[in-house]
Chains A and B, each alone.
Chain A
Amino acid sequence: MTISTPRHTGFPPSPGFAADTGLLPSPVPVRLIDADGAEHSDERYPLPSGDSLLDAYARLVAGRRVNDQANALVRQGRLAVYPSSHGQEACQVAAAAVLQARDWLFPTYRDSVAVMSRGVDPLQVLTLLRGDWHSGYDPYEHRVAPQATPLATQLLHAVGVAHAAKLKGEDTVVLALCGDGATSEGDFHEALNFAAVFHVPVVFFVQNNEYAISVPLRSQTVAPSLAHKAVGYGMPGERVDGNDVAALLAVLGAAVRRAREGGGPSLVEAHTYRMQPHTNADDATRYRTADEVQRWEPLDPLLRIRTFLRSSGLLDDAAEAGLAADAETVATAMRDGLNADVEPEPMALFEHVYSRRTPQLAEQAELLRSELERDAAAVEPDTRDTGATR
């Protein structure tokens, strides 16, 4: 499909962001480093600094190691499930890297690496997937909302946080993540429309990885691109190569700056690929070919930036060894933490349902407490096996 880029002169200009096309995204995804690691210049988006690219590469190495370790822990039965972002790590680390401490990140279940990249302890991130509790971290400590499992619902929460920030006069930007499947949900529509109508500082970041579990993008939408959906709400959309961390930093960084400067919301679509199944419960061979997966392998986000950094002299063997060691430290801590058996406190079931426990919950808590006491008494040594009477 050929994508035309007419000028929508009737719309307000969007300075610093897709300014040359009005609200429409660029006809091809923004790319700053080619698949072979060479710089690919784009007049609208300068290449990020060497330091920020090195920092992103460090995050990528750690993120890849986290994905691999988490997959291994699923196989060992230490995690109930893990939706891997293998292949999408550039999107993950860029989402965290472009935000400042006062900003908010709204992640989905697949965005564990983004949450960790924001500084949240990996063990706390994995609590959800381990089965201890539904959210293991303090959302306010790093300004990261709980990972969302229903699709697109969190986008509205992101709009609400941004709206409250605007009303309170806070200089806060909210970056909300979702996948390609989520763009079909009603809440996606409502969130973008609300954000545009209230002109709040939100960046909607769609990681288009081509599949919603088994349903390919072509069965999800017939829009020219997901970024084109922004136009209907009156906000700019942009497409970016989701395996090019430099382009992601540039485009997401521009969107965040635009939001912070009062430019309102925008939509960024990253074109990437989910290299692994949806989760360990999924059989990806039923809906896609090995050839297709192999075509994406040379586009790996780590390879590309690594080639660039090596050829630019920004990265050498010693630095690489250091990054690998750092990543291994993270993986070891994850492994050790998840190998330790942690039994959640059963009475915690009743702790946080209401600020003031209802009489009914008080009764039920008392029932569970008496059951726990009975169970504790029942496992006293020798009382059962010997049939001893008391």
Chain B
Amino acid sequence: MAATTTEVPPGTRQAADTADSTDNAPLTFAKALNTALADEMAADSTVVMFGEDVGPLGGVFRITDSLTARFGAERCFDTPLAESGIVGMAVGMAMNGLRPVVEMQFDAFAYPAFEQIVSHVAKMPNRTKARIKLPMVIRIPYAGGIGGVEHHCDSSESYYAHTPGLTVVAPATVADAYSLLREAIRLDDPVIFLEPKKLYWTKERVDLAGLRRAADDAAQTGRSAAGGIGTAAVARPGTDATLIAYGPSVSTALAAAAAAEVEGRSLEVIDLRSIVPYDDATVDASVRRTGRAVVIAEAPGFASVASEIAARVSERCFHSLAAPVRRVTGFDVPYPAPKLEHWFLPGVDRILDAVDELQWDEPGDGADVLAGDSLAGGTAAVDTGSEGHL
């Protein structure tokens, strides 16, 4: 591309510039995303970044900070204020050999682009029998907990997860913010990349050099890095119950697990990392071991990703379950005003209350909870190792 500060022939890859990396330095979630964008843009000259205010301003959350200065206004540029236009143009650019990364300024601002996302981004590869691939990433600052005004804090993951053809990623750690974004940009499929806004300013010490090497190695081999998109992580091991969370809810689940430990309960926390593909194997293995599961998500629970997970766990791990799978989610109300969001968001106490209701009594003791249509009582916490065999 002409007139950029990095003159690299289109389609070539270079190892990430590690000159500015400081190993094991504390890094914010936002800076990790920014570094991932910069590293992938440096490595692959076909990666272009655009959206509203992503140029000289660096995005309202500064995720694209310095990219225009470093890569030129042709590689990172501001667009007119039009979300459908941004996504629709990205479709055409991906059709013509580029890897666009676009920013939807806030979750609820992405809805004008919804038709482009569900009717075209998700379907174009399938309708053309994969002759057209759409290697594009739609980055969405996402979910609540920051006291945002109306339309700035929606949890929109269910819309995207319900749409076949979309890969839906929601990192919860600084390391994942870096690694999953780099992998998302390299993926040949379109990715909805959900960035939990409340995590932008969290800081962790990460081995950035190691993460960079892993990302470069994965790019060289064309394979996913170990534990990449489609692989859930055990964020905290435990034995008594499994908390299943993703994105902004992982930290809440971890806080709940820490509180439960004080009460003598060992809770395992699974961080899904990607919602689509969904890692049944890691979730199932955990639930079969612990026999109890609570799904935690900020989004309203009705017809949600949390509902899907609860249903899957119930179907697949039924004979290992000591209690019905519980969901702790946002209420089925529009995202509330800042002074009310505290009551809306699933908090530690609400999670612990749900855990308390997972039929901890010995079989036979809890006649009340075994009444009705729960069939779980007699097989509490027994992992037979093969579903369907009692």
Contacts and interface: CB of A to CB of B under 8 A. Distances in A.
B93 interface: yes
A153 B280 CA distance: 36
B163 to A, nearest CB: 11
Among A155, A167, A191, which residue has the most Cβ atoms of chain B within 10 A? A167
Interface string A358-379: 1110000000000000000000
A135 B312 CA distance: 34
A119 B188 CA distance: 29
Most chain A beta-carbon neighbours within 10 Å: one of B95, B164, B281: B95
B96 A165 contact: yes
Contacts of B96: 160-161, 164-165, 168
Nearest to B87: A156
Interface stretch (A4-12, A279-287, A349-357): A349-357
Contacts of A140: 131-132
B100 to A, nearest CB: 8
Given A138-B131, A150-B115, A354 B280 contact: no
Nearest to A194: B85
Contacts of A155: 88
A141 to B, nearest CB: 9
B92 A156 contact: yes
Contacts of B236: none
Contacts of B93: 160-161, 163-164
Contacts of A167: 1, 48, 74, 98
- Chain B CB within 10 A, most for which of A139, A145, A193, A354: A354
- Please tell me the size bucket of the interface on B: 35 or more
Contact of B277 (A138, A156, A160, A359): A359
Contacts of A360: 277-278, 280
A134 interface: yes
Contact of A190 (B84, B98, B126): B84
Interface string A183-195: 0001100110110
Given A358-B230, A358-B277, A156 B91 contact: yes
Interface in A130-170: 133-135, 138-140, 145-146, 150, 153, 155-165, 167-169
Contacts of A156: 84-85, 87-89, 91-92, 116
Nearest to B224: A356
A162 B84 contact: no
A74 B89 CA distance: 35
Contacts of B188: 355
A158 B92 contact: yes
Contacts of A157: 88-89, 91-92, 95, 120
Contacts of B165: 353-354
Given A153-B120, A358-B278, A159 B128 contact: no
A359 B280 contact: yes
Contacts of B230: 356, 358
B97 A353 contact: no
Interface in B220-260: 230
A289 to B, nearest CB: 35
B305 interface: no
Interface string B261-281: 000000000000000111111
A128 B167 CA distance: 26
A359 B281 contact: yes
B232 to A, nearest CB: 11
Q: Which of B10, B128, B164 has the most CB of A within 10 A?
A: B128
A187 B100 CA distance: 19
B123 A162 contact: no
A355 B133 contact: yes
A351 to B, nearest CB: 7
A11 B389 CA distance: 79
Given A157-B95, A165-B96, A352 B129 contact: yes
B190 to A, nearest CB: 10
16 contacts: A134-B128, A139-B95, A146-B128, A150-B120, A153-B115, A156-B87, A157-B95, A158-B92, A160-B91, A164-B92, A164-B97, A167-B98, A193-B82, A193-B85, A194-B85, A351-B129
Given A134-B128, A153-B119, A162-B92, 6 more contacts: A135-B128, A138-B128, A159-B85, A168-B97, A168-B98, A354-B167
